[in-house]
Structure 1
Amino acid sequence: MSAIDHYINAIIVQGKAEALADGSAAIEPHHLLLAIASIEENAARQALAAAGLDRQAIRDALDKEFEHSLSGAGVSLASFRLPTPTPDPKRSLSIGASTKLALDRAIGGATGKKDLRPGHLLLGILQAEIGTVPRALTLAGVDRAALMASVRQALANGSW
């Protein structure tokens, strides 16, 4: 396996752990984003950190998005105490459709597998126009376009 294969595998394994921890039925892009921010010493993590997005900031943004989505349906988290998710390590999780699209965008962003870098995976996640990740980043005040531009620039410069 190549270095990028190991990286993608590590991100998916960590993404699965994130999904299990929050009781999700599938591995979604926000789980991969949390995984990228959790894997030490990688360029994609550094790009997120430069935008003020460490793992905790991403978790906070996702929590804010969840609360905002519930409030749109007239549900206030302040009024209800939600149960803590019960992780089931025996649960078999699939890769969600949005994650498959993010992976396809990542692969399509490289000129070939040998050119695939962690930044392509990050871009594949960030390029979604709708969904949890863009809503969470918007609510957190992150300039997603600027973040994507900086990742593209780093990829173009070969600094990944």
Structure 2
Amino acid sequence: MSAFDRYLQTIIEQGAREAQEDGSPTIEAHHLLLAIAADQESGTRRILGSAGLDRQAIRDALDREYEQSLSAAGVSLAAFDLPRPNRTLEPPARLGASARGALDRLASAFRKKDLGPVHLLLGILQAQVGTVPRALALAGVDQADLTARVRRALTDQDA
């Protein structure tokens, strides 16, 4: 197993715990992003930190995204006392569409032997629609700029 395979396995396992906490039946890209932000890997931590993102800031943005999505459907969290999501006994084992999309973007753009933690972050940030882009926008993060920082970090690694 390569170093990236071990890293990816760790992030997916942590993402599964994030999904379990959310009561989600699948591991989605935002769960992987939370796992990356909580991880101690210096390259991804530095890039996310440069945009003011740590695990808590991402969690807060995701909570705002959830509230805004409900509001768009005419549901106000303030008007209802919604229960916390049901935690499953076991973390989910399946990747959802957004997580699979992030991994597919990696596989189509890079050779497996070249992959590292920053590549996974790039795969997540390249999503044009979905929870992650909406949450980043609500957090005031310029997704295009953050993605460019990730690409520069990859270029610097290759130099």
Assess same fold via TM > 0.5: yes
Q: 2:117 matched to which residue of 1?
A: 118
- Kindly provide the amino acid, as one letter, of the partner of residue 127 in structure 1: Q
Q: 5 Å matches for 1:140-151?
A: 140-151=139-150
Name the SS of the counterpart of 2:98 in structure 1.
helix
Unaligned runs of 5+ in 2: none
Superposition deviation, residue 68 in structure 1: 0.5
- Alignment RMSD (CA, Å): 1.5
Q: 1:134 matched to which residue of 2?
A: 133
Pair 132,92 (structure 1): closer, same or farther in 2 beyond 3 Å: closer
Q: 2:153 matched to which residue of 1?
A: 154
Deviations 1:15-56 (A, max 9, x none): 000000110010000000000001113311221111100000
Between 115-124 and 12-21, the greater mean CA deviation after superposition = 115-124
Superposition deviation, residue 159 in structure 1: 7.0
Q: How many residues align?
A: 159
Under a length normalisation based on structure 2, what TM-score does the superposition of the two structures give?
A: 0.94
Q: 1:103 matched to which residue of 2?
A: 103
The alignment status of 1:21 with 2:21, answered yes or no, reads yes
Between the two structures, name the one with larger relative contact order (CA 8 Å, sep ≥ 6): 2
- Aligned sequence identity (%): 60
Superposition deviation, residue 85 in structure 1: 1.9
Superposition deviation, residue 92 in structure 1: 4.3
Q: 2:32 matched to which residue of 1?
A: 32
Unaligned runs of 5+ in 1: none
Q: 1:52 matched to which residue of 2?
A: 52
Contact 1:107 1:116 in 2 (8 A): no
Contact 1:107 1:120 in 2 (8 A): no
